[in-house]
Structure 1
Amino acid sequence: MRTSARIASVLTGLTLALGGAALTAPAAPAAPADVSACINQVERELKGGEAPASVHTACYIAVTGAHGTCVAGLAEGIGVTKATAESACKLGAE
């Protein structure tokens, strides 16, 4: 067998093997819907339309389990009440 034919057959085999592995691999998890619940909770208190980017950041931090950082970001950084910040961050972590 010529070298070029051998290389082509090896590459074809690798492509088929890796393609099969990609088809059987578990799908990557989607962005948690709970981030939206966290953001919506804050927006209800702000009553001024869409939440700023800092709210989105704090709610994504809640997903990582850093509850205190999320609460501080919302209560001190945004100015929502501590109760709203606590409940919003709890929603984000679920």
Structure 2
Amino acid sequence: MRVSTRLASVLTGLALVLGGAAVVAPAAHADVNTCINLVERELRGGEAPEAVRAACYVGLSGARDECVAGLAESNMTHKTAVAACRAAAE
């Protein structure tokens, strides 16, 4: 998949998630934080970049493959990406 297509998918997913976030904000926020925290644990104390946060929000919408791909582009291991995206979707 081309980078521009993937970026458009991530941004669309992010817009959809943020648009619905008002309805489920407390539960969704915790799941996204879990996703981000798993990534930050791999970074060993570093703060997750915006691309990681966007990927976690995409994972929240249930688009696990796109979430994993977004985290892989941010140099996360496959194992961490899968675990973080699974946490976001729960």
TM-score under structure 2 length normalisation: 0.69
Counterpart in 2 of 1:51? 48
Determine the C-alpha separation between the residues in 2 that align with 1:73 and 1:28: 25
Q: Are residues 1:72 and 2:49 paired?
A: no
**Paired residue secondary structure (2:62):** coil
Is there any run of 5+ residues in structure 2 with no aligned partner, and where? Answer: 1-21
Identical aligned pairs, as a percentage? 55
The answer to which structure, 1 or 2, has the higher relative contact order (CA under 8 A, 6+ apart) is: 2
Runs of 4+ in 1 over 6 A off after TM superposition: none
Counterpart in 2 of 1:81? 77
Is there any run of 5+ residues in structure 1 with no aligned partner, and where? Answer: 1-26
Question: Alpha-carbon deviation of 1:47?
Answer: 1.5
Larger Rg: 1
What is the number of equivalent residue pairs in this alignment? Answer: 67
Counterpart in 1 of 2:25? 30
Q: RMSD between aligned alpha carbons? A: 1.5
**Paired residue secondary structure (2:80):** helix
